[in-house]
Amino acid sequence: MEQLLHYVWKHKIFPLKELKTTSGQVLEIIDTGLANSNAGPDFFNAKIKLDGVLWVGNVEIHTCSSDWNKHRHDADKAYDNVILHVATHIDADVCRSNGEPVPQLQLECPEHIRSNFEELSATDSYPPCYRIIPSLPSFTIHSWMSALQMERFQQKTVQLSERLSFCNNHWEDAFFMTLARNFGFGLNGDAFEIWAKHIPLRAVDKHRDNLFQIEAIFFGQAGILADKDGDEYYLKLKREYEYLAHKFSLTPMDISHWRFLRLRPNNFPHIRIAQLACLYHRSYHLLSQLMEKNSLKEIRDVLRGGTSEYWVNHYTFGGSSISRPKTLSDSSLDLLVINTVVTFLYAYGIHKGDERLCARATAFLEELKPENNYIIRMWKQCGLNVAHAGDSQALIQLKKEYCDKKKCLYCRIGYEYLKRK
């Protein structure tokens, strides 16, 4: 399996004997190079010595050496800088586009690594590496989780860049879109992002001092004011929306995007939209406000929000319920801080070259309690200690980007598992 051979090369798992090319040259591997995930040779900037002469260039790896010719590398100038071709089965000579031969190394995957990989692949339990987790050194776990936390920061920064591009690099607008998505709390995340893209924020800003008009635009653009009949408040909102929709040429989203099944009443889209409307009404330049806060308490106080009076005893339009303020719970607030505020602190710090913002983002994660979801509970059952939200974010990254994608060969826990004898 070619992936395993990549693993063996990357981690220098070579036979304990003098290495020679297939033509008899003495081979010394100084640096295996940088793995390439894009088109071109598999490893860049490797350093080797052939009969004592230093060579610097690229390395290509195949299961069979004849794959070089099957993939037409012999006619591709992008492979002319390959200084070594590595294969398990040498069944053909290979050359560059100018006809020069490429040195080859026959390299096999050790049996214990192959066996461990097959064991990982065949294990039904999740994660398949659960057997060794309790015995791993704390330093190994800690360093891997720190790296995963940075990976997650970087991944979210890329996602944020896409929203910024959509918002013409307007940070406040991108923040609103991200906040709205996270107000979906998983199930309605996609719907809330679609909804946010339908909100004409510059038009809303003209009515920012009027919560009723903000609600009219927010609910109208959600497609929730399409019914002809309803209670008095609903009909007033509907009339106001029709006026504003005509004024600003608004088109609502398709209501079919919203999901209502298996939701607790506090998570109904109506309540979340009402909370966002209230937050938008009373918090001008919300992102700027949050950037200036130095404590989690201050941030929670800004985001805690509320609703207009109607929603105190309603969960949807129509039938009333027990009177109860619809503020966000502490656990919901913490999720918004983790997935929205911390992300923007880090990304804006990178954008401005302000290390203090990046450090504050990390400090907030380490101050927050770890998330409590099925992913974190799974890792706890395996014996991993989850001390704070930074750890839980790292473990979410581990599951989604490594376990779910079967990338055990790229995981440090997978590395420890495979090297066992």
Contact in structure between 68 and 92 (CB atoms under 8 Å): yes
153 and 71, same structural domain? no
Closest CA to 62 of 107, 27, 118, 116: 107
Which pLDDT value is given to residue 123?
79
247 and 199, same structural domain? yes
How many Å is the Cα radius of gyration of the chain?
28
Q: Does residue 385 fall inside a structural domain?
A: no
> Which among 77, 109, 141 is the end of a domain?
109
Which pLDDT value is given to residue 125?
76
360 and 251, same structural domain? yes
Q: Does residue 384 fall inside a structural domain?
A: no
| Beta strand ranges found along 210-326 (DSSP E) | none
> Which among 109, 129, 157 is the end of a domain?
109
32 and 99, same structural domain? yes
The Cα 66–Cα 212 span in angstroms is 71
The Cα 259–Cα 364 span in angstroms is 32
Q: Does residue 127 fall inside a structural domain?
A: no
170 and 233, same structural domain? yes
The pLDDT tens digits along the chain (421 residues) read 799 999 999 999 998 889 999 999 999 999 999 999 899 999 999 999 999 999 999 999 999 999 999 999 999 999 999 999 999 999 999 999 999 999 999 999 999 999 999 888 887 778 889 989 999 999 999 999 999 999 999 999 999 999 999 999 999 999 999 999 999 998 999 999 999 999 999 999 999 999 999 999 999 999 999 999 999 999 999 999 999 999 999 999 999 999 988 889 999 999 999 999 999 999 989 999 999 999 999 999 999 989 999 999 999 998 888 999 999 999 999 999 999 999 999 999 999 999 999 999 999 999 999 999 999 999 999 989 899 999 999 999 999 999 998 899 999 999 999 988 7
φ, ψ for residue 68, nearest 5 deg = -55, -45
The separation between the first and the last C-alpha atoms of the chain, rounded to the nearest angstrom, is 19
Which pLDDT value is given to residue 262?
82
Which pLDDT value is given to residue 387?
95
Which pLDDT value is given to residue 208?
93
164 and 69, same structural domain? no
Q: Does residue 51 fall inside a structural domain?
A: yes
Query: DSSP letters of 311-371?
Result: GGGBSSSSSB------PPPHHHHHHHIIIIIHHHHHHHHHHHT-HHHHHHHHHHHHHSPPP
Phi-psi region of 262 (alpha: psi -120 to 50; beta: other; left: phi over 0): left
Query: DSSP letters of 361-381?
Result: HHHHHHHSPPP-SHHHHHHHH
> Which among 85, 109, 133 is the end of a domain?
109
The range of the structural domain enclosing residue 30 comes to: 2-109
> Can you give the pTM of this predicted structure?
0.87
Distances (CA, A) of 328 to 36, 292, 368, 369: 45, 22, 16, 17
The Cα 17–Cα 261 span in angstroms is 64
85 and 208, same structural domain? no
Number of domains in the chain: 2
Q: Does residue 114 fall inside a structural domain?
A: no
Q: Does residue 333 fall inside a structural domain?
A: yes
289 and 349, same structural domain? yes
82 and 231, same structural domain? no
* Alpha carbon 364 to chain centroid, angstroms: 19
Q: Does residue 131 fall inside a structural domain?
A: no
Q: Does residue 115 fall inside a structural domain?
A: no
301 and 230, same structural domain? yes
228 and 88, same structural domain? no
Question: For strand 34-35 and strand 43-50, is the pairing parallel, antiparallel, or unpaired?
Answer: antiparallel
189 and 43, same structural domain? no
